[in-house]
Amino acid sequence: MTDEEIVLYFNEHRLAKLESYLLKDGSSVEHELQNLLDRFYEQTVPEHERMEVEAQIELEREREAAQREASRRFAVVHFHEGDDDFFFTSELRNSFYSIANLYRSTLKDEVGKYTLDSIAQSNFSGCQTINDMTFSVLCSAMPNDPRITALVEFDFNHNIISVCESSGNAWRTYDLKDVSAAMYKAERKEGLSLDEMNEVLNKKSGMLGISGVSSDGRDLEAAAETGNKRAQLALDVFDYRVIKYIGAYAAAMNGVDAIAFTAGIGENNIKMRKDVCSSLTYLGVKLDEEKNNVRGEERIISADDSKVQVLLVPTNEELAIARETLALVK
């Protein structure tokens, strides 16, 4: 929807004199002509037709607003410090890496000095405040809402950042000090761009970065069996993080009723399941090694007298992706 331009011709001397008198009254030629045109429109066009025109204008405004909203891309962010919380959306490209770099360059020096809302408003482009309920709704909507690029939670009490990007649909948690150090090394010592950092951290780090072999658990198992210490280290780090997060959530939930191993590694790595469960005996977890000696088969793998049920649950990620895609295009 656009406004049409009207061109008028008027003698320059008359115009200059007219403008000088209007200026004394705090007005202008444009302002007076606009008011005159509005009055002329109301006097000339019947009321019922004016109402039809206004309805058409409002409809076009709503369509344009809907188009702008549909094309908008934003991250949903939560700041937590002390007993304070601040929720907002922000227009970010390469969300995690932009935020990580922002933390290293600015946020780490501002937290504790300024209010959370002022930090967000001054550092995050397109910052729009939301409440905790809207935050929860957007978190749930992300898998089916192409506008949402990432969910980001800063816990300044424990100095951690948790990120779930739309491309991955899985939460990742990092120590803010590690994030800051990694960004510094990538930017200052390696000279990497934001996209190159994205490539390194998403595709060349993790188990591949530790092992130098592969990100595939099967390759790592085979390499570890031949004595590759870096491959064994990658497997040990993976086991440790699984154990740590199960323990953390068990503490937060005041116990655990069941533990499910799923997806590629969970449903296929027999040794990993055994190693993890052997470190959870304090929770009452007891694995049945015979039941556990299987890959990709849905079953209970805990012993009959285990206080916590342990399950092996295969997934069909391709089917889930196909169903979500179908729901979007319907």
Q: What is the 3-state secondary structure (H, E, C) of 220-247?
A: HHHHHHCCCHHHHHHHHHHHHHHHHHHH
Average pLDDT, the chain: 84
The reported pLDDT for the residue numbered 67 is 78
Of 27, 52, 70, the position where a domain reaches its end is 70
User: Are 103 and 167 members of one domain?
Assistant: yes
Rounded average pLDDT over 74-88: 90
User: Are 220 and 296 members of one domain?
Assistant: no
Position 132 pLDDT exceeds 80: yes
Domain contains 170: yes
Domain contains 311: yes
The answer to whether 38 and 53 have CB atoms below 8 angstroms apart is: no
User: Are 105 and 141 members of one domain?
Assistant: yes
User: Are 199 and 103 members of one domain?
Assistant: yes
Of 49, 70, 91, the position where a domain reaches its end is 70
Task: Provide the percentage of residues in the chain whose pLDDT is more than 90.
Answer: 27
Is the model's pTM score more than 0.85?
A: no
Position 325 pLDDT exceeds 80: no
The reported pLDDT for the residue numbered 158 is 84
The reported pLDDT for the residue numbered 7 is 87
The reported pLDDT for the residue numbered 323 is 78
Position 229 pLDDT exceeds 70: yes
User: Are 261 and 323 members of one domain?
Assistant: yes
- The C-alpha atoms of residue 38 and residue 22 are separated, in whole angstroms, by 19
User: Are 314 and 235 members of one domain?
Assistant: no
Position 111 pLDDT exceeds 80: no
Rounded average pLDDT over 15-31: 90
Rounded average pLDDT over 174-192: 71
The residues, any chain, with a CB within 8 Å of residue 317's CB and separated by 6 or more, are 263
Position 45 pLDDT exceeds 80: yes
Position 16 pLDDT exceeds 60: yes
Position 184 pLDDT exceeds 80: no
The reported pLDDT for the residue numbered 161 is 84
Most confident among 145-149, 194-198, 282-286 (mean pLDDT)? 282-286
Of 50, 70, 90, the position where a domain reaches its end is 70
Whose CA is closest to 31, among 9, 3, 23? 23
User: For the chain, how far is it from start to end, CA to CA, in angstroms?
Assistant: 29
Position 291 pLDDT exceeds 90: yes
SS3 98: helix
User: Are 235 and 112 members of one domain?
Assistant: no
The reported pLDDT for the residue numbered 88 is 92
For residue 293, what are the domain limits?
256-330
Position 168 pLDDT exceeds 70: no
Q: What is the DSSP letter of 166?
A: T
Q: What are phi and psi of 171, to 5 degrees?
A: -75, 135
Rounded average pLDDT over 287-308: 91
User: Are 152 and 235 members of one domain?
Assistant: no
User: Are 133 and 27 members of one domain?
Assistant: no
Mean pLDDT is lowest, of 31-40, 60-69, 199-208, 267-276, for: 199-208
The reported pLDDT for the residue numbered 123 is 79
Rounded average pLDDT over 166-184: 73
Domain contains 285: yes
Domain contains 2: no
The reported pLDDT for the residue numbered 195 is 67
User: Are 243 and 320 members of one domain?
Assistant: no
Residue of 110 and 247 predicted with greater confidence: 247
User: Are 132 and 228 members of one domain?
Assistant: no
User: Are 180 and 125 members of one domain?
Assistant: yes
Count of domains forming the chain? 4
Domain contains 7: no
The reported pLDDT for the residue numbered 140 is 84
